[in-house]
Amino acid sequence: MTNVKILRPLKNLPPAERLKMVESTMRQLRQDLGEKVAPIGDDADARLAGAADALLDAYCHDRELTALADLDVEVFLAQE
């Protein structure tokens, strides 16, 4: 199937429906590639928790990612 045959009918859908189709397609691709996929829905807390879990190792081992946060704490403690 060519891109034109796939995309032409999508243009007839409202933007919100097209977005759902794209998100579903991306989710399926991630699953096919073996990536961890967040559940479908408007559950922002679950998605944020998943993102935090995915980045936890990077934040624990890369001081550059937390350097500014350390400065904020020092300023806060100095104001007490």
- Tell me if 35 sits within 8 A of 27, measured CB to CB: no
pLDDT at position 68, please? 66
Q: Do 24 and 58 lie in a common domain?
A: no
Domain interval for residue 27: 1-37
Region 44-53: what's the mean pLDDT?
81
d(C-alpha 23, C-alpha 71), whole Å: 38
Domains identified in the chain, total number: 2
Q: What is the DSSP letter of 40?
A: S
Q: Do 2 and 18 lie in a common domain?
A: yes
Stated pTM of the model = 0.40
d(C-alpha 41, C-alpha 45), whole Å: 11
If one compares 69 and 49, the residue with the highest pLDDT of the two is: 49
Q: Which two tokens stand for residue 41?
A: 């829905």
Q: Do 46 and 77 lie in a common domain?
A: yes
Q: Is 21 exposed, middle or buried (0-12, 13-18, 19+ CB in 10 A)?
A: middle
Q: Do 30 and 57 lie in a common domain?
A: no
Q: Do 32 and 49 lie in a common domain?
A: no
- Please report which confidence band the pLDDT of residue 34 belongs to, taking 50, 70 and 90 as the band edges: confident
Q: Do 27 and 50 lie in a common domain?
A: no
Q: Do 14 and 33 lie in a common domain?
A: yes
